Amino acid sequence: MEASSKASGSSLPPPFSLSSVPQTRKRKASSKSPLSNESDESSSSSSTSSSSTMSTSLLKLGSYDGDQVSNWNTLQLESFGIFYDVKATELSELYKSAQEKMCSSAVNNATFWTKLVKIKEILIESTKKCLHILDVDEEFDMEDLDWADVKEESQKCGQAIAKVREEMSLKIGSLDNLSRDLYSIWFTGISEYIQYYSDLIKELNSSRRNGVEGEFRQLLTFFSKIFLMSPRTGDALQKVQMRLCGKETTSVPDLRYILQGDFFDESEKTVSLVTVDTRELKTWSLADDEKTTTDFNIRNLKFSGQSVERLLGQHGGELLVESMKSVLRSTNLGIICIKTMIIFTRLEWAKGHYKCLLKGTKAEEKRSNIHYSKPYNFLVRKDREEILDTMFNLGLLCRVRSLLAYQEQ
């Protein structure tokens, strides 16, 4: 395992230099986008009624000229027959395909699968113990802290690090090789996350500014490492290109969660991809007619002065283009991250739909859906603890190839 050499020590990684973190902002929509002259608000109100017409006109008349999906809105996405659900899906059901994929990889050894589940349960409990110290309420804003708040948060980070060391020392001596290696990756990940979180709130306070895309992407990167993942930044050197209806389309998500073991393989597979946004989120609370969290409609997200249509179009486009690299058949997993709030997504392809788009043949009658969860703020204990099982399932799926080698030990 890649972190086994870090296993037994309890020393912390060196402090981070925030100056080295890319502080990029989202690229502005290109003027060449076929829909760029339409406002987000107008597209929001008209997308449902006109989506069928757009599906026909864009594909039949060939008015789609190819583009980066970062320029898309939901109207463009729906023109290819891809729609967001009108209600959220329970998280346990949303990522069920990932669980089944991981299960099938170890199904020939029930004992090994039982062992993985047991290790996951131990890691979940350790994560709860160590991160509950950093718990905040739902009104917490890491970009609007005074010095007293920063001092309190820094003290909490110190306590959390001490708890991580204690947890590691209690567990590591009694673990077998597989458990020890996974625990070592967990230890490194959670230590780096706490350190970066501490450094970030100090930096935002001292410079009296809001966080930028690169900083929140980095925070989610370190948070993901807790769950045994090795996220990769989706920079321009790693863009994915697709001939969509005969036109070149490109995707560069903020992060990709990669299937481990494919580092030098051109056919490298993606487990999940992430779109990060730093706009000010006014509210994600349920509308008056939404009685439960599963009634949450993602279009009801409210941003300051902007609609959510551009973000949803970009993320859906990334799910579409990157489907060719998805480790899961007939589906592609994703995460929308807005500062410290995350929404899990899954594009589920209708039979034959993806091939139609690749071949440039008519797809007017094909319809595929993007399912999604309610929003979770990973700084808030209740939200965070609801997603631990899902995040560890993703992490184990990312490492399933290397983990299978332990079956022979």
Comparing 23-32, 136-145, 198-207, which segment has the lowest mean pLDDT?
Answer: 23-32
For the chain, percent of residues with pLDDT exceeding 70: 76
pTM of the model: 0.82
Going from N- to C-terminal start, the domains of the chain cover 48-95+231-400, 108-229+402-408
Please, which pLDDT band fits residue 51 given cuts at 50, 70 and 90?
A: very low
- Residue 201's region, left for phi above 0, alpha for psi from -120 to 50, else beta, is alpha
Comparing 166-175, 263-272, 398-407, which segment has the lowest mean pLDDT?
Answer: 263-272
Asked if 83 and 370 touch (Cβ cutoff 8 Å), the reply is yes
d(CA 247, CA 260): 31
pLDDT score at 50: 40
**Sign of the CA dihedral with 237 first, then 239, 242, and 248 last:** negative
Count of alpha carbons within 13 angstroms of residue 326, beta-carbon side: 24
Q: What angle do CA 170, 176, 182 make, to 5 degrees?
A: 75
CA distances to 140, 233, 340 from 21, rounded to whole Å, are: 23, 12, 17
Mean pLDDT, to the nearest integer, of 32-57? 39
d(CA 370, CA 393): 20
Per-residue pLDDT tens over the stretch 319-364: 999 998 898 878 999 999 999 999 999 999 998 899 888 887 766 6
Mean pLDDT, to the nearest integer, of 124-133? 96
Please, which pLDDT band fits residue 265 given cuts at 50, 70 and 90?
A: low
Per-residue pLDDT tens over the stretch 141-184: 888 888 999 999 999 999 999 999 999 988 887 778 899 999 99
Amino acid at 262: D
